[in-house]
């Protein structure tokens, strides 16, 4: 999964949504059929098949997705099929996931419940 | 990660509604409904941007609607712009569709009092003509009587 995310990161693709740098976005983002990569700050709702929060990424709000990889910070409600929190990741809030992977060093604060999220 | 820089891309199938702040380089291939201040903004062929933009350079290949204030604007052949466009330099390719209010906005001139004077002089003119008309009507009627 990480290898995939790095591939996506290094090859900027038109279809993928990237939120990078110092910018701050506020609102609702729908990635459509393509992934969303966040290395900036986002406050609001995200809907996409894949969401990757990079180390500098900071997301507050709600995420509804199939797979999430969190290297950065997330606070809020998370509904997904598969969640990966890497060693640098911090998750605060309510998590509903079917498959869960938390690396050593990751911080997860809040409630975790297992839910079958049907694929769209 | 250095390769990516600080570019922000809204993907082709993506939709964003809200606010964008602190942005540098923004590419829009999807739909965006937001107010944006950035250095460089690119609206791709399939892109659609609704809202205000303030930027040094704006390249429009898709659809834009709103109030744009830009140093340089490049409207490519597939561009479609509506709303208001303030620019310093404008390049327009054959096929570009501009359906908007266009102002050549030299930043130095916007601070000049001349513009506000010109704006004020426009306002009293119709009043003066109205007064003149109303003035002539009774005088002519007096003459008639």
pLDDT tens per residue, range A37-62: 999 999 999 999 999 999 999 999 99
Nearest to A19 among B8, B15, B44 (CB): B8
| A contact test, residue of B3, B18, B29, B45 with most A CBs within 10 A | B18
**CB proximity A113 to B under 8 Å:** no
As a whole number of angstroms, the distance between CA B136 and CA B6 comes to 67
The length of chain B is: 145
For residue A11, the model assigns a pLDDT of 56
- Report CB contact under 8 Å: A9, B5: no
- B39: nearest CA partner in chain A: A23
Cβ B54 vs Cβ B36: under 8 Å: yes
Nearest residue to A16 via CA among A28, A29, A3: A29
Q: Which of A22, A24, A26 lies closest to B6 in CB terms?
A: A22
In the three-class reduction of DSSP (H, G, I as helix; E, B as strand; rest coil), residue A59 is classed as strand
C-alpha separations of A58 from A83, B77, B112 in Å:
16, 38, 43
Contact A60, A77 (CB under 8 A): no
Contact B9 A39 (CB under 8 A): no
Specify the pTM.
0.76
- Domain segments of chain A: what residues? 2-114
Tell me, yes or no, if B4 comes closer than 8 A to chain A by beta carbon: yes
pLDDT at site A22: 85
Instruction: List per-block mean pLDDT (blocks of 10 residues) for chain B, which spans 145 residues.
Output: 69 93 92 94 96 95 96 96 95 94 72 44 43 45 45
Summarised one tens digit per residue, pLDDT across range A20-29 is 888 899 999 9
Q: Check residue B94 and give its pLDDT.
A: 95
In the three-class reduction of DSSP (H, G, I as helix; E, B as strand; rest coil), residue A4 is classed as: helix
Residue A21, helix vs strand vs coil: coil
Question: In tens digits, what is the pLDDT along chain A, a chain of 120 residues?
Answer: 444 555 545 455 678 899 988 889 999 999 999 999 999 999 999 999 999 999 999 999 999 999 999 999 999 999 999 999 999 999 999 999 999 999 999 999 999 998 875 544
Q: Is B39 on the interface with A (CB under 8 A)?
A: no
Domain ranges of chain B: 7-107, 112-145
């Amino acid at each position: 999964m990480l290898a995939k995310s790095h591939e996506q990161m290094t090859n900027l693709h038109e279809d993928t949504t990237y939120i990078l740098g110092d910018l701050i976005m506020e609102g609702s983002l729908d990635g459509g059929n393509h992934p969303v990569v966040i290395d900036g700050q986002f406050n609001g709702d995200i809907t996409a098949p894949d969401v990757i929060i990079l180390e500098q990424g900071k997301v507050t709000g709600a995420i509804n997705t199939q797979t999430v990889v969190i290297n950065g910070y997330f606070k809020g409600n998370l509904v997904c099929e598969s969640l990966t929190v890497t060693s640098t990741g911090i998750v605060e809030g309510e998590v509903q996931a079917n498959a869960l992977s938390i690396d050593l060093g990751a911080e997860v604060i809040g409630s975790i419940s297992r839910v079958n999220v049907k694929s769209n | 990660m250095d390769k990516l820089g600080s570019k922000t891309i809204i993907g082709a199938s993506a939709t964003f509604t809200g606010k964008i702040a602190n942005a540098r380089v923004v590419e829009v291939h999807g739909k965006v409904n937001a107010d944006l201040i950035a250095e460089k903004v690119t609206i791709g062929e399939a892109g659609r941007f609704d809202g205000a933009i303030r930027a040094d350079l704006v390249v429009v290949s898709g659809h834009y609607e709103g109030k744009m204030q830009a140093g340089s604007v490049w409207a490519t052949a597939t561009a479609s712009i509506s709303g208001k466009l303030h620019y310093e330099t404008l390049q327009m390719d054959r096929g570009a569709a501009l359906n908007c209010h266009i102002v050549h906005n030299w930043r130095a001139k916007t601070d000049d009092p001349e513009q506000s004077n010109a704006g004020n002089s426009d306002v009293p003119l119709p009043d003066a003509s109205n007064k003149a008309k109303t003035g002539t009507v009774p005088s002519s009627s007096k003459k008639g009587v």
